[in-house]
Amino acid sequence: MDPLSPQNLPSPENTEQSGSGEKNTGSIIGIIIIVLVLALGGLYFWGKRVAEKDNNPNNTNLPRE
């Protein structure tokens, strides 16, 4: 019997089920990466804003001489 005969090939229904699980996992990983990049960007800008606030020469918490 020929190994490439239609009886030995997988049916399209079986191939779609295995492919959808891989697509679902890839989508979840992509969403996690996007959320992490946004969170890191937010922390970067927040830290930059705090650093600028600490370096402000008009800080009123300094003792006057």
Mean pLDDT of 41-58: 86
Per the model's pLDDT, the better-predicted residue between 16 and 6 turns out to be 6
d(CA 20, CA 7): 24
Q: Is 48 exposed, middle or buried (0-12, 13-18, 19+ CB in 10 A)?
A: exposed
Does the pLDDT at position 60 exceed 80? no
Q: How confident is the model at residue 31 (pLDDT cuts 50, 70, 90)?
A: very high
Q: What percent of the chain has pLDDT over 90?
A: 37
Classified as helix, coil or strand, 8 is coil
Question: Taking phi first (over 0 means left), then psi (-120 to 50 degrees means alpha), and beta for anything else, what does residue 11 get?
Answer: beta
